[in-house]
Chain A
């Protein structure tokens, strides 16, 4: 009799362990997928920038510094490897780009240029995509980390050595508002 009860408990425990483990693995893969989505969108942004710079270069002779900052930030973002390194480099790029677009406002020719308008839409969309992909990634990471933290799934997570997912931090740098020199007008 006791043997049967023991066996029953054992079976329940094994099944429960398998379910918990599979849940964690699923979440881990979702985190990876979500990260790949961010990567795809970052690449899209990197590909857009050289064209943008070429389009505005002629009209924005005086803003060489801003332009070179954008190019520099892009190069750094392309080279970044780790999650935190990427986050930092991408934030720099976001800042440089928003400064560039703030300056475009000063050039009526550029502002009404059809190409620029299209670029602006494409870049807005890319910025949004990066933002939304990051939002989704962070939500999944939060789910994954919570699952690893709470009882009883934390036992399984510890047993099989799951590691916490790393958040893609954005707000720290990007909150700074780009300064625009109005005396240029």
Chain B
């Protein structure tokens, strides 16, 4: 079992690797476009595409670091709390309690109008952290269960998972979005030859980029899975138990979350790894073994519940 300090160190290292990889990928892409248009780079000329690609990477990197949480919140249509609503007031109270239990500063709180119960944390450090929950979570959970879920999210903040997860979301999200688009263009545009003359089709350069993105897609989802890893969720579950001293409540909450079949409607591959339970309900999550470990963003929920219940016994608490 990894402890929180090695986890923090690992997170920092992975964030740097990820940003470096992002620069290299975009740099190579820019360079290949340049060498394509100029023949070889020896034939002078300003490497326009390389410069454009690298500045794009820098902008994207800065956005990911400073505004990653806003990007995530915007893409999920998150809303601010309304204190007239007793459920929102209760949520605010519970987050305050968990901030005290974890010794962390109070995070910002947002609500996502979605009936599927789920929650996530984002931001760059404990001072700039955000906790988001769906309306479904507020409506379906008891006070104790909601507390346990929030404690899990505070665990992600304390373990410094949030920066890495947010950077993954923005950087890789950009590429996944582009590659989704590329695959679609490949399927429905590039290959289809409605007009017999190929010359009237796409510019070969664009086809090249499309192929590149199409090839990148599976590699990237692999990177997300590696960076996010199942260990992270187990550790946050353990943090939740440490803060609430009530692992059984989180086990119950996870059980309730799985029982609701509908996936979170605005979540997609780019944001799925942020949530406490996979919002897309992908079947791979429920499998074990080397392949599932490497490719899934979340551990099987039964396994998590089982671990929590075992903790509950050792705490001597009720199950």
Partner-B contacts on A (CB < 8 A): 34, 37, 41, 117-118, 121-122, 124-125, 128-129, 132-133, 135-136, 140
Whether B143 lies near A124 (C-beta < 8 A) is yes
Give the distance in Å from the alpha carbon of A124 to the alpha carbon of B147 in the complex. Answer: 12
Min CB gap A135→B, angstroms: 6
Tell me, yes or no, whether B86 is within 8 Å of chain A by CB.
yes
- 26 A-B residue pairings within 8 Å (CB atoms): A41-B100, A118-B89, A121-B86, A121-B90, A121-B93, A122-B93, A124-B93, A125-B94, A125-B96, A125-B97, A128-B93, A128-B97, A128-B147, A129-B96, A129-B97, A129-B100, A132-B97, A132-B98, A132-B100, A133-B100, A135-B101, A135-B245, A136-B100, A136-B101, A136-B102, A140-B103
Beyond the given pairs A125-B90, A136-B100, 19 more chain A to chain B contacts, judged by CB atoms under 8 angstroms and listed by A's residue number, are A41-B100, A118-B86, A121-B89, A121-B90, A122-B93, A124-B93, A125-B93, A125-B96, A129-B97, A129-B100, A132-B100, A132-B101, A133-B100, A133-B101, A135-B101, A135-B245, A136-B102, A136-B103, A140-B103
Q: Which residue of B lies closest to A140 (CB)?
A: B103
Query: In chain B, residues 210-245, which have Cβ atoms closer than 8 Å to a Cβ of chain A?
Result: 243, 245
Complex contacts, A34 vs chain B, CB 8 Å:
103
Give the distance in Å from the alpha carbon of A62 to the alpha carbon of B243 in the complex. Answer: 40
Give the distance in Å from the alpha carbon of A12 to the alpha carbon of B90 in the complex. Answer: 53
Min CB gap A141→B, angstroms: 13
* Most B Cβ at <10 Å: residue of A118, A132, A133: A132
Q: Mark B61-105, 1 if CB is under 8 A from A, else 0.
A: 000000000000000000000000010011001101110111100
Min CB gap A3→B, angstroms: 39
Across the A-B interface, give the 7 residue pairs with the lowest CB-CB distance, nearest first. Answer: A132-B101, A125-B93, A132-B100, A128-B97, A133-B100, A136-B103, A129-B97
Give the distance in Å from the alpha carbon of A17 to the alpha carbon of B63 in the complex. Answer: 43
Whether B86 lies near A37 (C-beta < 8 A) is no
Q: Which residue of B lies closest to A41 (CB)?
A: B100
Min CB gap B6→A, angstroms: 18
The dominant DSSP class at the A interface is helix
* Most B Cβ at <10 Å: residue of A34, A122, A128, A135: A128
Give the distance in Å from the alpha carbon of A124 to the alpha carbon of B98 in the complex. Answer: 14
Give the distance in Å from the alpha carbon of A125 to the alpha carbon of B150 in the complex. Answer: 14
Give the distance in Å from the alpha carbon of A41 to the alpha carbon of B100 in the complex. Answer: 10
Q: Which residue of B lies closest to A117 (CB)?
A: B86
Quick one: which of A41, A117, A124, A132 contacts B243, CB cutoff 8 A?
A132
Q: Which residue of A lies closest to B104 (CB)?
A: A136
Min CB gap A103→B, angstroms: 21
Give the distance in Å from the alpha carbon of A124 to the alpha carbon of B103 in the complex. Answer: 20
Min CB gap A119→B, angstroms: 12
Q: Which residue of A lies closest to B103 (CB)?
A: A136
Min CB gap B183→A, angstroms: 48
Q: Mark B245-272, 1 if CB is under 8 A from A, else 0.
A: 1000000000000000000000000000
Complex contacts, B90 vs chain A, CB 8 Å:
121, 125
Complex contacts, A136 vs chain B, CB 8 Å:
100-103
Give the distance in Å from the alpha carbon of A34 to the alpha carbon of B143 in the complex. Answer: 25
Q: Which residue of B lies closest to A127 (CB)?
A: B97
Give the distance in Å from the alpha carbon of A117 to the alpha carbon of B143 in the complex. Answer: 14
Min CB gap A19→B, angstroms: 17
Complex contacts, B243 vs chain A, CB 8 Å:
132
Q: Mark B125-153, 1 if CB is under 8 A from A, else 0.
A: 00000000000000000010001000000
Give the distance in Å from the alpha carbon of A65 to the alpha carbon of B17 in the complex. Answer: 66
Q: Which residue of B lies closest to A124 (CB)?
A: B143
Give the distance in Å from the alpha carbon of A88 to the alpha carbon of B101 in the complex. Answer: 21
Min CB gap B158→A, angstroms: 12
Q: Which residue of A lies closest to B151 (CB)?
A: A132
Contacts A118-B86, A121-B90, A132-B243 given; indicate if A37 touches B97 (C-beta within 8 A).
no
Complex contacts, A41 vs chain B, CB 8 Å:
100
Give the distance in Å from the alpha carbon of A117 to the alpha carbon of B89 in the complex. Answer: 12
Complex contacts, A118 vs chain B, CB 8 Å:
86, 89
Give the distance in Å from the alpha carbon of A141 to the alpha carbon of B264 in the complex. Answer: 42
Give the distance in Å from the alpha carbon of A132 to the alpha carbon of B86 in the complex. Answer: 22
Q: Which residue of A lies closest to B94 (CB)?
A: A125
Min CB gap B148→A, angstroms: 13
Give the distance in Å from the alpha carbon of A37 to the alpha carbon of B101 in the complex. Answer: 10
Complex contacts, B86 vs chain A, CB 8 Å:
117-118, 121
Give the distance in Å from the alpha carbon of A135 to the alpha carbon of B102 in the complex. Answer: 9
Give the distance in Å from the alpha carbon of A125 to the alpha carbon of B101 in the complex. Answer: 12
